[in-house]
Amino acid sequence: MKRRWNKLSLTVLLVWLVSSCQFLDENPQDFLAPANFYKTEADAVAAVNAVYSHLSTGSYYGGHFWRMGDLASDLLDDGAVSRTETLELNTYTVASTNDILSEFWQRLYVAINQANAAIGRVPGTTMDANRKARLVAEVRFLRALFYFDLVKAFGDIPLITEETTSLNDLAVARRPATEIYKQIIQDLQEAEKALPVSYAAADMGRVTKGAAQALLAKVYLFTKDYAAAAQKAQEVVQSGTYSLVPNYADLWPAEKENGPEHIFSVQYRAGVVGSNFNETFGVRGGKAPITGGSGAFVKKTFIASYETGDVRKESSIKDSYTFSDGSKATFQPHVWKYFNPNGTTPSNTDTNWPVIRYADVLLMLAEARNEVGGPTADAYAPINQVRSRAKLGALPAGLTKDQFRDAVLRERGWELSFEGHRRYDLIRMNKLQENLRKAGINVTVPKHNLYPIPQRELDTNRELQQNTGY
């Protein structure tokens, strides 16, 4: 898990990253002052694209996001050879010195600083007003996403909404999570106003209005504003822009990505910025095309939880593979959603990472409606859509509000498995300790509801304090 740049403190990392970017010149008196950028439309687009580029990195959606969200849950066991950091997450023995947490924090705050710069400076460029507004809206969404993923992981965190241009501005105190969520909501509300419903093929994968609405619905769920969550999720449904693909297995092949169910995905292209999911989830010691690092094994308790006939199980998990020559390999249950037999190499494929899917919106809608008014027919309808696609029958009638909530949590596990959501779903539904202890992992709440603030940040920022219990 050791990487060249993770040895850098946040301060040094900011100096390296920002001063090395083509659109920022180092000021001898400081180090972050832009000089000759943000003048033309091409400059603005390049700056916004630079913010997007953080999504695909190994320290974010390319790796650490699922490790922090699913390896630290009741879905997966650690399978990595170099086990220290991943095993800490998996067994809830994580220390503040864990490199995964440090890299995640550093990556997202660097991305936030670039987002702040773009939000502040793109409006001053010479270009079409509508395109300018759209670019700023895209970055507002991305900044909201960065902060959302940080606040879920660490709770109270520094809130920085202006571009950092001085070494003197790096010591920033933590702000209450309520303030972070307030900023996230504001950014998403502003973004929604200027984002388009869709894009031409050349811009596929950029943020849309539906993505802002869907993420806003999820943020409202996390803040327990269930009426607002239901309203936003319903707006996504009523837009008619998205739908469930008939076959769950069709969500994952690279040639079928960015389809009607994919609201927002991290884009990968082999040879440009390829994904490494074959390498991560492939079978250690297996021959091509299944060879990889066995980064995780699927817990047998989770496999046993699936209802009989659920087609999502076969698409998501494999313990055997038949090769083209007829030979067969068997192995411990592995994550299979992201397997791409046509990758250039195991670490260079076209496989995208799904950040928000329409099925997630339907399950959010069911959950929010239940929290507002109990398990009405309107609450049953969206979850039963998801179950129907999985070839399952409707939920039993007559569930209580608590039973329905539990049913939604189970459904989210089966539907969204290995997409990085599980730990945070368990926490917000107050099920982390119960579910992890059933899986044999000793979890203490509220301590383990948050990760520790990375030690490197405490060492370089005198204004930070550690989370309770670490």
- The 10s digit of each residue's pLDDT in 260-302 is 999 999 999 999 999 999 999 999 999 999 999 999 999 999 9
pLDDT for 32 beyond 90: no
pLDDT at 83: 81
Helix axes 358-373, 377-389, angle to 10 degrees: 150
Confidence of residue 58 (pLDDT cuts 50, 70, 90): very high
Q: In the predicted model, what is the mean pLDDT of the chain?
A: 91
- Give me the pLDDT at residue 18, please: 38
pLDDT of residue 36: 60
pLDDT, residue 418, reads 98
Q: What is the pLDDT of residues 377-424, one digit of tens each?
A: 999 999 999 999 999 999 999 999 999 999 999 999 999 999 999 999
Residue whose structure tokens are 């900011």? 14
With 70 as the cut, is the pLDDT of residue 8 above it? no
CA pair distance 467, 444, nearest whole angstrom = 14
Q: For 279, phi and psi rounded to 5 degrees?
A: -65, -45
Q: Which parts of 188-324 are beta strand (E)?
A: 262-266, 296-298, 317-322
What pLDDT does 13 receive?
A: 38
Confidence check: pLDDT of 151 > 60: yes
Is residue 139 within 8 A of residue 45, CB to CB? The reply is no
Amino acid in the structure at residue 162:
E
Distances (CA, A) of 31 to 10, 21, 159, 342, 355: 14, 12, 21, 44, 34
- For residue 1, pLDDT over 50 is answered with no
Q: Under a CB-based contact definition with an 8 Å cutoff, are residues 135 and 432 in contact?
A: no
- Rounded Cα gap, residues 7 and 28, in angstroms: 25
For residues 197-220, give the mean pLDDT.
97
Q: What is the mean pLDDT of residues 303-322?
A: 97
Q: What would the mean pLDDT of 182-205 be, rounded to a whole number?
A: 97
- Bond prior to 123 in cis (omega within 30° of 0): no
* pLDDT for 123 beyond 60: yes
Look at residue 21 in the predicted model and tell me its pLDDT. Answer: 37
Q: Please provide the DSSP assignment of 20-63 as one string.
A: HSTT-PPPTTSS----S-S-BHHHHHHHHHHHHGGGGSTTTTTT
- Report the pLDDT averaged over residues 71-82: 90
Minimal CA–CA distance to 118: which of 67, 161, 179? 161
Tell me which residue of 10, 39, 192, 202 sits closest to 104, measured CA to CA. 10
Topology adopted by domain 7-266+450-460: 1.25.40
pLDDT tens, position by position, 416-456 = 999 999 999 999 999 999 999 999 999 999 999 999 999 99
pLDDT value at position 346? 83
Q: What is the mean pLDDT of residues 71-93?
A: 92
* 160 pLDDT tier (thresholds 50, 70, 90): very high
Asked if residue 364 lies in contact with residue 229, where contact means CB atoms within 8 angstroms, the answer is yes
Per-residue CA distances from 356 to 217, 337, 364, 397, 414 (Å): 11, 15, 11, 29, 15
**Is the dihedral angle over the CA atoms 459, 460, 466, 470 positive or is it negative?**
negative
Q: 34 falls in which pLDDT band (50, 70, 90)?
A: low
**Which of 54, 214, 228 has the alpha carbon at shortest distance from 142?**
54
Tell me the residue length of the chain. Answer: 470
The ranges assigned to domains in the chain are: 7-266+450-460, 277-351
